[in-house]
Structure 1
């Protein structure tokens, strides 16, 4: 069984189908899936607004946990029967079986649950890129992360603990503050009740060293305002474009227009002594993963074994309950990962 997107649009375009098993091709592994994750990339791809939109009918889903069931030509490891996590760099994870490049399949620690495994790769690889590969996080830095109680937000909180004396600020609803503080946030601002720009500038008058921006639209301009001289703003999403389970063309247009208005030409960046960059995990894991993934995953699994990180699971849903899973994210109710 697999969850198939029949066409771009609302949840009604998704349906469960039974299809014959496919054999792994050269360099692939077939995984019997125990759990798979849901990410904002999947939400955008479902509505046809993701940078990498697979053509329907198709199966979405970037990450899975499960058991190695068979090997394609040229693959011997991980051995058949091994508990693994896998990154589906061409989607395909929302299925009882998934075909994954062998280079993107990793043995799970013995004490890691399947739920934790399916919540690991997208969130923690994204956080790793933001903080270390692009952000060059250093001792004593200040960081702002929006959507602090989400999957990536929790990962950012935990990974910041690997660098001494990082001061981490975040935005999320008041009801989620306790969970976010447990992940490592020093100060949290409810963006629904307060002007987070004013609130943060009271605490850090010059701004912060690193601003992690998954919002897009008008918020990107605010993020630039909060980036201190010599600091970096790193964009890794446009969550403001997703406001419900149906595509809102007007909202999309406003978000893209605001993104353009928030852009800075090189001279403006020079005069402000700031940097703006972007991280897109989908393209990295499609085109550049051999240079990045092995060390990043090794570090993440080591930190897991050392007890420094632990994925936060919001909820686990059966395949047939996919609507409930999506709506938790659409309605911004999740605290951690939805599986």
Structure 2
């Protein structure tokens, strides 16, 4: 669906994938913010519910998926990235907004950030409450996402996530609360804010992305399997062996604190690395770097450290890195750059 507007306005493609922003409560739960069904409102209806969008851009909407974002798989993630890349390559598209569920929004945003080689604004947004809830946040988030995507200052900043009037980089952002409207945060701070309907920037990103990235969605047919194991007391090696048994090429160890490895797992990691399964150490706490050789002899083991990438992003970066190299040193170099 295209919205007729002024021909001089930016042309923004809106890609719907479902999620809470496309959710609605049951009649018996009118006004509820937690009891609802996600992915039932079409992208066209989302546009119709925010009249102010027509003043910002010429909009074209399409429904790529209609799913809960928990149902995103690597196959769907590749499909999303290919479609966004196709839209960015078109002369009649100046920017792309993706309406996405919040549960895996940070993962999709980061993957697009690394694989879509375009300087055009790419913005993801969603909502913590369905449109039928009291004080639903979806309409304002969508309005702000379009405002950011349509603004010329947003170009070349990598993929952005706009939620609750904040503009986050896909490299850093994570969902940090299950229900609050300010559920998304970045450990290094937001890039900027949406102020009076326009982006206001306060910092810039220095790590490579989009146009500077060595990954290209046009050259990626499939992602190597990478598993994640989260640390807890009384861990067992069987969790790691299970990933190896199903063909994982790497396993992200979401360790305590600074990526700590329990003493009883250290020989397991050495064995797995020797057998050709990469171990990537990161932290389960959600912020702060993991330092190579600080609490574990990564050089002797042949393991990789993820710097400050959280477990979901470490999984994606490891998978992308494995499309380029099979060597631990090569994987480490990728994590050091990104």
Global fold match (TM > 0.5): no
- More relative contact order, 1 or 2 (CA 8 Å, 6+ apart): 1
* Normalised-by-shorter TM-score class: under 0.3
**Larger helix share, 1 or 2:** 1
Normalized against structure 2, the TM-score is what?
Answer: 0.26
Normalized against structure 1, the TM-score is what?
Answer: 0.26
